[in-house]
Amino acid sequence: MFNNHENYWVSLSDIMTGLMVIFMFIAISYILQVQRQQQSVDDLLKDYSKTVEKLYEELKVEFEEDFTEENWNAKLEDDLSIRFLNERVLFYEGDARVRTRFRAILDDFFPRYINILLKPEYRNKIAEVRIEGHTNSRGGYMDNLRLSQERTSNVLGYIFFDNDSAFSNLPEKNKELVKFWFTANGFSSGRTIDDSGKLTLYSGKEEDFTTSRRVEFRIVMKTDELVQNIMAQKKE
The residues spanned by each domain of the chain are: 2-43, 48-227
Q: Which fold has domain 48-227?
A: 60s Ribosomal Protein L30; Chain: A; (3.30.1330)
pLDDT given for residue 64 in this prediction: 95
Alpha carbons 148 and 73: distance in angstroms, whole number: 20
> Residue 133: exposed, middle, or buried by beta-carbon count in 10 A (0-12, 13-18, 19+)?
buried
Q: In what order do the strands lie in the sheet with 81-84?
A: 74-76, 81-84, 214-221, 126-134, 182-186
Sign (positive or negative) of CA dihedral 34, 40, 46, 48:
negative
pLDDT at position 236 over 60: no
Nearest to 89 by CA among 166, 155, 159, 153: 155
Give the burial string for 151-171 (b: 16+ CB within 10 Å, else e). Answer: bbbbbbebbbebeebbbeebe
Sequence-separated contacts (24+) of 202-208 with Cβ below 8 Å: 207/136, 207/137
Bigger pLDDT: 28 vs 129:
129
Report the distance separating Cα 155 and Cα 162, nearest Å: 10
pLDDT at 126 (0 to 100): 94
CA distance 182 to 61: 23
- Confidence (pTM): 0.79
What is the rounded average pLDDT of the residues 90-108?
A: 95
Which are the contacts of 170, defined by CB distance < 8 A and separation ≥ 6?
A: 114, 178
Residue 136 in 3-state DSSP? coil
| Span 150-200, pLDDT tens digits | 999 999 999 999 988 999 999 999 999 999 999 999 999 999 999 999 999
Other beta carbons within 10 Å of 67: 19
